[in-house]
Amino acid sequence: MSILILFVPMAIGISLVFLLAFIWAARQRQFEDLETPAHRILFDD
């Protein structure tokens, strides 16, 4: 079970990467308009 001492921080470290990715996306203002892109993708060009 002692291996948990290593694995748990590793798991947390991986999830930390996702947190940083989320903050990066927020910084890029990807969450400001949640409605329009869903429609824009339907247009052909």
Partner 1 sequence: MLAEETSTACLHCLQPVLENEAFCCSGCEMVYGILNQQGLGDYYQYRGQIELLRAPAPVREARESLDWANSLTERELNFYLEGVHCSACVWLVEKLPTLLADVEEAHLNLGTQLLQLKLTADGDLKAALQRLQTWGYRARLIRQPLERETFARQAHFWQLCRLGVAAFGAGNLMILSVALYAGLNGRLIVYFEWLSLLLALPVLIFSAWPFYWQAWLQLRYRQRVSVDLPIAISLWLGTLGSIYSLLTSQHELYLDSLSMLVFLLLLSRYTLQRTQQALVRHDLFHYLYQPQTLARLEGDQFKQSPFEAIQVGDCVRLEVAERIPLDAEVLSGKSWVDQAILTGESQALPVSPGSLVFAGSINQDQPLIVSVRAIGQQTRLAQIIEKARNYQQEKSRLLSITDQVARYFVSAVLLTAAGLGIALWATPALAISRILALVIVACPCALALATPLIIQISLKTALAKGFFVQNAESFEQLQKVKMVVFDKTGTLTEGRFQVLKTEGLDSESKRALWALESESNHPIARTLRHYLLASGPMLLAEVTELQSLVGGGLSACIQGVNWRVQPRGQFSRLSEGPLAQVCLDIFCDGSLRATLYLGDSLKAEAAETVATLQAAGLAIYLLSGDQADACLQVAHALGIPESQVLYCQSPEAKAQFLEQHPLAMMVGDGINDLQALSKARVGVSVQGSAEENLQLADVFLADSLKALPAFFRHARLTRRLLYSALTFSLLYNLVAVSAAIGGYISPLVAAIVMPISALTVFLLALWGGQRLCRF
CA distances from 45 to 7, 39, 40 (A): 47, 13, 10
- Decide: is 8 part of the binding site for partner 1 (CB under 8 A): yes
Buried b / exposed e over 5-18, threshold 16 CB at 10 Å, is: eeeeeeeeeeeeee
- Decide: is 35 part of the binding site for partner 1 (CB under 8 A): yes
- Decide: is 7 part of the binding site for partner 1 (CB under 8 A): no
**What is the binding site for partner 1 (CB under 8 A)?**
1, 4-5, 8-9, 11-12, 15-16, 18-19, 22-23, 26-27, 29, 31-36, 39-40, 42-44
